[in-house]
Structure 1
Amino acid sequence: MIKVSILYPYRENVRFDVEYYCNKHMTLAAKHFEPALKGWSVDKAISAGEPNSAPSFVAAGHFLFDSVEAFQQVFAPAAAELVADIPNYTDSTPQILISDVVVNV
């Protein structure tokens, strides 16, 4: 199982509409990624560890797939539409991390 994480870097006065991201963008992506998509989630940052400290990222979206190839097959046709939607919810420039899920409990 692999996880594709889209990380949105934090900066002072960053704009991020988590409601839009969860209810519009992520559901749109999930529809495009079916049936290869095994699950998805969203994290909204609280802090960097120290109480009241600024987080490194404002939010992250995560998608689970069986393989990198499965992700690439469903992402390629949807990429332009999903990238064009980014300004609707943030002015942060996303970073992508693809990782092997070692433990999932």
Structure 2
Amino acid sequence: MKLKLILSFFLLTTCFVSFSQDMPSGKSQNHDITATEKGLIKVSVMYPYAEGKTFNMEYYETKHMPMVAGFLGANLVKYTIEKGLSSGIPNQPLPFMAIGIFYVKSLSEYQAAIAPNRDAIRADFINYTNVVPVILVSEVVK
């Protein structure tokens, strides 16, 4: 069962199209997560697919994610936006319509930045989705 879950997760993550947004740092950074980014905190905001649920990717990409990124300030390293295409298992429904990911240096700074803005972030949901997101906070290990 555990192997099946790991395989399903691996297949799922390879079925997403990723749009990366590097944050300004004085020089261009067009790269994937590397060993120098080990230890970063990764905040994944996942929007599950369900019949009748909607998601406006244009609004999410141009309005919502930049708004949240602005709240995070210098703690934010970069963020990515992924659009779900299919399940990693044939003939299974799409598990997630979209995933937004923030890479930050400090979890406590992330929490401190989000706390006073939580209501504004949640109030903006109606502008792009009718889905309640699932949030996972993790640490980049490789």
Determine if the TM-score, normalized by the shorter chain, exceeds 0.5: yes
Mapped pair 1:4 → 2:43: yes
Partner of 2:125: 86
Q: Shift in Å at residue 13 of structure 1?
A: 2.5
The 5-angstrom pairing of residues 21-100 of structure 1 reads 21-50=60-89, 53-100=92-139
The structural deviation recorded for 1:18 is 0.3
Return the match for 1:14 from 42, 45, 53: 53
Aligned mates of 1:12, 1:101 — CA distance in 2 = 33
Give unmatched runs, 5+ long, in structure 1: none
Tell me the CA shift for residue 62 of structure 1: 0.4
Structure 1 moving runs of 4+ over 3 Å: 50-53
Q: TM-score, normalised by structure 1?
A: 0.91
SS in 1 for 2:131: coil
In 1, Cα distance between the equivalents of 2:67 and 2:80? Answer: 13
| Higher deviation after alignment, 67-76 or 19-28 | 67-76
Structure with max Cα Rg:
2
Greater RCO (Cα-Cα under 8 Å, separation 6 or more) = 1
| Equivalent residues of 1:36, 1:74 under 8 A apart | no
SS, match of residue 76 in structure 2: coil
Identity of aligned residues (%): 40
In 2, Cα distance between equivalents of 1:26 and 1:52 = 31
